[in-house]
Amino acid sequence: MPATRQLLAEDITLPALARAVGGDHRPFVLSGRWADGVAIAGSAPVRELGDDEDPFAALDDLPAPDGDVVFGGGWVGLLGFALGARLEDLPPSPPVRGATSPAHRLASYDHVLVLDADGRCWLESLGLPGRDDAVAARADVLRARLTAPSAQALWAVGPMEPLAPGGAGHEEAVEAVIERIRAGEIFQANLCLRLAGSFDGSALEAWLALMDAAPAAYGAYLAWDDGAVLSASPELFLRRRGRRVETLPMKGTRPRADHDDESAAAELAAATKDAAENVMIVDLMRNDLGRVCAYGSIEVDPPRVEPHPGVWQLVRRVSGTLRDDVGDADLVRACFPPGSVVGAPKVQALKVIAAEETTARGAHCGAIGFASPHAGLELSVAIRTLEVEGDAIALGVGGGIVADSVPADEYRECLVKAAPILAGLGLASVATGAARRRASPPPLLTTTTARPDPAQGIFETVLVDAGAPVALDAHTARLRRSAMALRGTAPDLHVATEEARALAREGAAAVRIIAVPDDRGGWTVTVMARPAPAPVTAPVGLVPVLLPGGLGEHKWADRSVLRGPYADASWLLCDRGGEVLEAAWANVWLREGDRLVTPPADGRLLPGVRRAAILADPGTGGARAAAEERIDLDRLRAADAVLLSSALRIVPATLSDAIRGTFAARH
C-alpha cells in the first residue's frame, strides 16, 4: 500500500513534538537540518535490531518507496564507534568508562511525526500491510498528546570533569601520537577526551534544554530501556538522495565568542595547521567514497568556515554518484567510522586510537541518523553527543593531532568544544587553563603487545578453605556482571557452582571457572581444579609499565599481555602520569602507618573479591583502616610497605631493583 500523510495539529513546537513520543518505548527525535529542515519524531517501532544482528545490512532492509511523503518511516538509531572493529582487524579498545552506549541501537518505525517549518505536525505512515488499524489508533493517541498541555519533567546534571588521568593524561597521549607521526607511522590521528558526571531525571528534557540553548545542525535524541543519547552534532557524515551521496567533514576549530565575532573565523580560514588537517581528512573521505562511487564522479568543494554554537568550524563538501550495485549497507561500511574523527591512514589511525586513548568511545564518534525509503540515508557524526546510563552522563570531545600540534592547545580545544554543551545543560565549563602535569613524568615501559582478546573469555579463581570455596557467590556474581557488560547475556552458573563445590570437597586447593563466548551469543562454562600458588620467599618485584586506561574491570582469560619479561617480577600496570592501577595478577595496596590504601575501582582495574573484603573489614588485611585513593609511583615508593592481594593470597611487593638499571637506560 502507498505511504500516507495526514495533518494532526498546527502551531506545534519542538518540545511538544518530543513530549508526544518521549514516554513511549524506544522514542527518537531529530531536529535541525535533517531531511531538508523538518523535525522528525517516533516511538513504538515495529522491529528492534538485536545485538547480534548486522546493523549495516539492516540499512538495506527497507520497503520500496510508494506514495508522496517526506519521511514515512524506516530505520532510526545509533551506530557506535566500536563497530569499526567489525569492519577492520583492530586491537581491542581500552575499557569503557562513564555512561556507556551499546555498539548499536537501530529500530524500524512504520509511522512517524514530521514537524514542518510552519509548525504543522503530520503523521506519516509507510502503509505496511496489516498495520492500518494500529496506525489509526496511534494517530488518535498522538493527536491528543500534541494538543494537550505538556508538563516539563525535572532533570539535574552534576559537574562534568575529565575522567582520569584527566587533562594531563590527554596531553601525554597527544605527545605519544606526535611521536608516532614523526616516526612515519601515521599522518594524523583524532584523539578524544571523555568528561563524566552524574545525572538524574528526564534525559529528554535535558536534550530539549540543550537544543534551546545551542540549536544544532543535527540534533538527535534516542532512548532505550537503560540509556539514551543526547546529540548536538554540527557535522554531517553521509547523506544519500537517490544515487548522489555527500559528506561534509569538519576539521579545524576556533572559539566563537558571539554572533558578531568574525576575527576568529578569519584566523581559522588562514590557519596553516587547520588547513593541513582538513586536506588530509578530505582526501580520506574522497578515498572512502571512491570505493563505492562511479569512477570520475567524486567532487570536492572549496573550504568554508561555518558558525556553530560556541565554535567556528572549517568544512568541505565531498560528493559522488554511487555505482548501480551499491546500497546503503555498502556505502556505510566503506566510510565507517567517519574519517574526520579517526585520522590518516585510516586503519592505522584506528590502531593508534586503541593504543593511546584511555577510554572506549561508546556512541561518541560513531553515527546517528536514519535510512528511509522516501528520505534516503542521512547520518550525523556523533560528536557533541552526551550518553546517559542510569545516574551517569558522559561527553566525548576530541581533535585532530598532526606533527606540529601543541599538547596544551589540543587539550584546550577539547574544552572549547565541550563548553557550549556544558553551558546548554547549565554547567560551568571545565577550566581551560593548563593541565596539571608532572615536571618530569616517570619513566614507564610501554607495552607492545595487544590488550587481552575478549574472544578468549573471562574467568574467576576461587580459594578453597577446609573443603569449601571461599566467597564463591561473590566470584560468580562478578563473572555474571562481566558477561552481561560484554555480551548482554550471562551464563547459567548453577551447574558450575556445584562442580566447584565438588572439586573443593575432593581436595582442590583452588577452583577456576572459565566462561568463553560461543557463536550463538551465549557462553561455554568450564570448571577445573587449580593447585595452590607457590610460596613467596621474597617480595614480588614490580616493573612499572604503561597501559593507557588499564585492563578494565573484567578478569580476562587471555593473560598474554600480562606476562612480563622477568621471571621473578610482575608488571605494575600504570596509566599516564605514572598513576598506579594494579599488578598483572593482583590488586595493589600501600601500607601507610596503620592504614591501607588501594587505587579506586573506577573502571580501569579489576575490583577484586578480596579487595572488597579488606575495604569492608580492614582487620582482614591487618590494618586499622582501608580506603580507595589515587596512587602514583612517587607515593608507592614512599609507602611503608606495598602489598598485593588476590583471591588466593596477600604477598609483599617492591619496585624491582634487579631491572632498575635496564629500565632507566631505556628512558
Q: What CATH number is associated with residue 610?
A: 3.20.10.10
pLDDT digits (tens, 9 = 90+) for 209-252: 999 998 999 999 999 998 999 999 999 999 999 999 999 988 77
Residue 447 lies in a domain: no
Question: Same structural domain for residues 224 and 185?
Answer: yes
Q: Under a CB-based contact definition with an 8 Å cutoff, are residues 224 and 99 in contact?
A: no
Question: Same structural domain for residues 269 and 213?
Answer: yes
Residue 552 lies in a domain: yes
Query: 193 in helix, strand or coil?
Result: strand
Most distant CA atoms of the chain, gap in Å? 81
Domain boundary among 530, 549, 579: 530
Structural domains of the chain, count: 3
Question: Same structural domain for residues 378 and 466?
Answer: no
Catalytic residues: 235, 251
Question: Same structural domain for residues 479 and 386?
Answer: no
β-sheet bridge partners, residue 380: 236, 368
What count of other Cβ atoms lies within 10 Å of the Cβ of residue 518? 12
Residue 441 lies in a domain: no
Q: Which runs of consecutive H residues, i.e. helices, occur in 321-406?
A: 328-335, 346-356
Confidence check: pLDDT of 314 > 70: yes
Question: Same structural domain for residues 255 and 135?
Answer: yes
Q: Under a CB-based contact definition with an 8 Å cutoff, are residues 151 and 29 in contact?
A: no
Edge-to-edge strands of the sheet including 510-517?
468-469, 458-465, 510-517, 523-530
Question: Same structural domain for residues 146 and 116?
Answer: yes
Residue 437 lies in a domain: no
Residue 297 lies in a domain: yes
Question: Same structural domain for residues 405 and 475?
Answer: no
171 compared with 279, residue with greater pLDDT: 171
Residue 432 lies in a domain: no
pLDDT score recorded for residue 661: 44
Q: CATH number for the domain including 490?
A: 3.30.470.10
pLDDT score recorded for residue 24: 97
pLDDT score recorded for residue 621: 87
pLDDT score recorded for residue 447: 56
Confidence check: pLDDT of 40 > 90: yes
pLDDT digits (tens, 9 = 90+) for 601-643: 999 999 999 999 999 999 988 899 999 999 999 999 999 999 9
**Which domain covers residue 490, as residue numbers?**
454-530
Burial 232-264 (b: 16+ CB within 10 A, else e): bbbbbbbbbeeeebbbbbbbbbbbbeeeeeeeb
Q: Give the pLDDT band (50/70/90) at residue 259.
A: low
Question: Same structural domain for residues 545 and 506?
Answer: no
Quick one: what percent of the chain has pLDDT higher than 70? 94
- Cα torsion 402, 170, 355, 196: sign: negative
Question: Same structural domain for residues 605 and 498?
Answer: no
Question: Same structural domain for residues 413 and 525?
Answer: no
Question: Same structural domain for residues 405 and 544?
Answer: no
Residue 443 lies in a domain: no
Question: Same structural domain for residues 96 and 234?
Answer: yes
pLDDT score recorded for residue 21: 98
Confidence check: pLDDT of 667 > 90: no
pLDDT score recorded for residue 448: 52
Domain boundary among 530, 559, 585: 530
pLDDT score recorded for residue 592: 97
Residue 434 lies in a domain: no
Q: Is the pTM of this model over 0.85?
A: yes
Q: Give the pLDDT band (50/70/90) at residue 536.
A: confident
pLDDT score recorded for residue 663: 42
